[in-house]
Structure 1
């Protein structure tokens, strides 16, 4: 496994991580989760991603219980969670000081941990001043509930404002951003955030590297495999967004490149994300242990993604979108 610094921090994270979104609590219980996490650690993964909203908190409970069952040394792993959607009450969501402080305490209780390593603002909150959020996230760090804080799906303008506030107040700014990034979703990472890497040293922990499974090549216009993500009722909107003729044509054009590299399409897609030097960790997903093993093999592809191979890929996928 390759380890990279999280942006400009001293924290080392595995270039491939594992995320609990969709799987923990929806598809997997504690026993299955423990198996998945074990395969990840065997491959060298130390980065594990979660959020208060995943399975309405159940994902955090399952991850915490599985890690306890496995007897892991806490300092060996990097555990994350995200705050925004914590419940149905008017103060159970958003990025107010109240929800951030109450939310992290609730997440830690579900995880059965004293702290998380990374805490994200899961989305921007237009109803809360960014200064209030910056101050609250620093309170969380000062009280030892998290080591670092960051954002997820914030605009470059919002991240810049957070940093300007932090610098003015002598506080800690967001160390990382968690955006969607894959062969079909590139514009924000490759264009919008370009100045942030240089100016603030933002590290990226990217999600949906396989476009919710579409980049595995397992879907067709007429076939959505039973038990797959697109087959879940709550995620059918993703299927409608992804399963279009243009995307299928690009998938077919990418398959020969993967074959030339003696890799699966999924491995190629994961390695392509990790090839970006601004990406600290690529968050993978899996519901079966053999999927973890196959995903981790994508690390072996990195040296094979030469400038010539990358140029072939980019001719197929086109400009950043």
Structure 2
């Protein structure tokens, strides 16, 4: 499996990053261990999580995903052979304020390290912007953590164009650490925000790009055909707006290729991201080991120019 460099780091990621948001939410600890066994056996070496995952599940308070990942690597070993990425900035309280102040980061990183049962985090993301902390303060906190060996590299997710550019300028002008990876929401149904500005900044500054919601919360798998299919489910809030004419066109384009190639729509949707300009690797998750076949399909099947164009046109 050919791995891809993340920005200017010495981290080389598998072509697909596994999203650990499902751990402790839609899969329990035992199921999570089984998935991790199979993921790592496939050669996927990059696990993405966040301190707040999986806070939204009933009875959870946040940190459950990190805790499961930490237990797994303590039990199985091999921590040093894999990339663990986590995030800071969201509140552990429902409806709480975002916070990327130095005070919050220094406390949150210790909590994440404890849950992950590790001495260092390979890639530490600013999860959400609080739109008030000076970028120099946030980067200064990361500078201290890198110096202490608790964080290797930093990334950002969900920053506006202006705040991302301000951060990159501060890194250059003030000798502060630079965001090396950007994590946007990006998929066949969510293109505009990344493609209309952020991508240019990422490419100009050689930032790795790891997309989240790469399968649009399952919409692009073809499992759901109407709002009725998701009504009352945990995915309703994510999917309810996708069942319009554009969404139907996207699903039809995916199905046409799927039927012709005899590979899953999910595999095709992931491969589309892998072949788009400026992207490094999509983040995706599954809840059943059988669904990992779509990862293999995405990694093993290139799309033709015609297939890419059909998908581009359907999702315009």
TM-score by length of 2: 0.91
Q: Cα distance 1:186–1:246, how it changes in 2: closer, same or farther (>3 A)?
A: closer
Shift of 1:89: 11
Q: Which runs of 5+ in 1 are unaligned?
A: none
Equivalent residue, structure 1, for 2:177: 172
Which 10-residue stretch deviates more, 112-121 or 214-223? 214-223
Q: CA deviation at 1:67?
A: 2.3
Equivalent of 2:206 in 181, 188, 201:
201
Matches within 5 A, 1:154-169: 154-169=159-174
Distance in 2, Cα, partners of 1:273 & 1:123: 23
Task: Give the distance between the partners of 1:178 and 1:68, measured in 2 at CA.
Answer: 27
- Aligned counterpart for 1:191 among listed residues 176, 190, 196: 196
Q: Which position in structure 1 is the counterpart of 2:67?
A: 61
- Structure 1 CA distance for aligned equivalents of residues 29 and 191 of structure 2: 34
- Which residue of the partner structure matches residue 17 of structure 1? 17
Instruction: State whether residues 98 and 128 of structure 2, in contact with CA within 8 Å, keep that contact through their aligned partners in structure 1.
Output: no
| 1:81 Cα deviation from its structure 2 partner | 0.4
Does the Cα contact within 8 Å between 2:230 and 2:240 map onto a contact in 1?
no
Q: Which residue of 2 aligns with 1:45?
A: 44
How many Å separate the matches in 1 of 2:258 and 2:279? 21
Structure 2 counterpart of 1:181: 186
Query: What does residue 35 of structure 1 align with?
Result: 34
Q: Does the 8 Å contact 1:39/1:293 carry over to 2?
A: no
Instruction: Note closer, same or farther for the CA distance 1:256–1:231 as it changes in structure 2 (3 Å cut).
Output: same
| Alignment deviations for residues 255-309 of structure 1 (CA, whole Å, 9 cap, x no partner) | 112222221111100110111242222111111111123322211112xx12222
Q: TM-score, normalised by structure 1?
A: 0.90
Q: Indicate if the aligned counterparts of 1:50 and 1:59 stay in contact, CA closer than 8 A.
A: yes
Distance change (3 Å), C-alpha of 1:185 and 1:92: closer
How far the C-alpha of 1:253 sits from its partner, in A, is: 3.3
Structure 1 residues 9 and 277, CA, compared in 2 at 3 Å: closer, same or farther?
A: farther
- Alignment gaps of 5+ in structure 2: 55-61
Instruction: Show the 5 A alignment for 1:275-286.
Output: 275-286=275-286
**Residues 105 and 90 (structure 1 numbering): CA distance in 2 closer, same or farther, change over 3 Å?**
farther
Once residues 122 and 165 of structure 2 are traced to their aligned partners in structure 1, the CA distance between those partners, rounded to angstroms, is 22
CA RMSD of aligned residues (A): 2.1
Matched pairs, number: 309
Q: What is the rounded CA distance, in whole Å, between the counterparts of 1:249 and 1:153 in structure 2?
A: 27
1:107 to 2:144 alignment: no
Alignment partners' CA distance in 2, 1:38 and 1:95: 34
